[in-house]
């Protein structure tokens, strides 16, 4: 009987763990935030699920089973319900992982195709977020843009934040264009370009 008590406790802990941290089992590079996960966790929902499992186990334990008393029947039935709940939650996590993976592959392919096309046109575009970039007078701004064009790149503000999918796509884009830009502009080209831009800012 003690074995089933410990098993039920372990299953409840696993159910809570799966509900709390299941979203981090993802192909996306999500930053792990323990406190955020705990505060965002729907404790009422999991409490209702476990309570419903207890009620059903109590009702099912009324059924007469040879050589088992009411407490034994309850613990075993409760264990079965907890196993089913855990399996259901794990299936949702796996399904979510597969769906996210499919969407991620699709987004990354779009960014890879875009990178190849930009390389072909000798116009690599780096998108950035955070709204408008630092403004200069028109003359220095044009000169800075000309420096960027000399190195075959353009900076474009999207005016909004990237979601996790587009952030991953941007990373894939950079991986594709990096060898091309090094071959085109030489090693340490970024430092050289930044140095030229800084001279115009001063």
Digit-by-digit pLDDT tens for the chain (202 residues) are: 788 899 999 999 999 888 877 767 777 765 544 444 555 556 777 888 889 888 988 888 888 766 778 888 888 899 999 999 999 989 988 998 899 899 999 999 999 999 999 999 999 999 887 554 444 445 567 888 889 999 999 988 776 667 888 888 999 999 999 999 999 999 899 999 999 888 876 6
Q: Which of 112, 114, 104 is nearest to 156 (CA)?
A: 114
Rounded CA separation 117/110 (Å): 11
Question: What backbone torsions phi and psi does residue 51 show, to the nearest 5 degrees?
Answer: -65, -40
């Amino acid at each position: 009987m003690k074995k089933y008590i410990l098993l039920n406790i372990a299953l409840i802990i696993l159910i809570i763990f799966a509900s709390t941290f299941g979203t981090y089992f993802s192909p996306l590079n999500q930053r792990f935030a323990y406190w955020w996960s705990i505060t965002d966790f729907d404790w009422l929902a999991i409490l209702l699920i476990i309570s419903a499992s207890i009620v059903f186990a109590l009702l099912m334990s009324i059924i007469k089973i040879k050589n088992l008393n009411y407490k034994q029947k309850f613990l075993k039935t409760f264990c079965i319900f907890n196993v089913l709940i855990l399996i259901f939650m794990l299936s949702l996590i796996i399904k979510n992982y597969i769906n996210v993976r499919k969407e991620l592959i699709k987004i990354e392919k779009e960014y890879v195709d875009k990178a190849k096309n930009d390389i072909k046109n000798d116009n690599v575009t780096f998108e950035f977020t955070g709204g408008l970039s630092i403004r200069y007078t028109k003359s220095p701004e044009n000169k800075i843009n000309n420096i960027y064009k000399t190195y075959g790149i353009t900076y474009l503000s999207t005016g909004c934040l990237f979601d996790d999918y587009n952030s991953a796509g941007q990373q894939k884009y950079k991986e594709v264009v990096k060898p091309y830009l090094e071959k085109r502009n030489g090693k340490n080209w970024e430092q050289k370009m930044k140095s030229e831009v800084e001279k115009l800012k001063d």
